Amino acid sequence: MGKNDVNQIADNVRVVHAGCGVNALSGLQSRINSMYCSLLVGLISAAHQAILRLSSVSCHNLIDVVVGKLRPNRHWRHSLRW
């Protein structure tokens, strides 16, 4: 690994985000928490998926993009905002 490995280019990245619905469906959370989570991120059966096609994004910038898109949006059931 060289010193410039951090700045490698990512051309195609798949992001899958299930949210807290995973725990809600497996019975690991209380009913109230399960209902709250399902309102925020939807059900696990509709796990959030996205394919990012990036021409030239460094690994640090890619992390910023992904984290920014996974923030919950209270006006929409899904947490990915594209």
Partnered with residue 17 across adjacent β-strands are 48
Radius of gyration of the chain (CA): 16
Are the beta carbons of 41 and 77 closer than 8 angstroms? yes
- Asked whether residue 81 is domain-assigned, the answer is no
Domain of 9, in residue numbers: 5-69
Task: Give the chain's domain count.
Answer: 1
Q: What global pTM score does this model have? A: 0.17
Q: pLDDT over 70 for what percent of the chain?
A: 0
Is 35 among the domain residues? Answer: yes
pLDDT in tens, 36-74: 555 544 444 444 444 444 444 455 555 555 555 555 555
- The span from the CA of 69 to the CA of 1, in Å, is 29
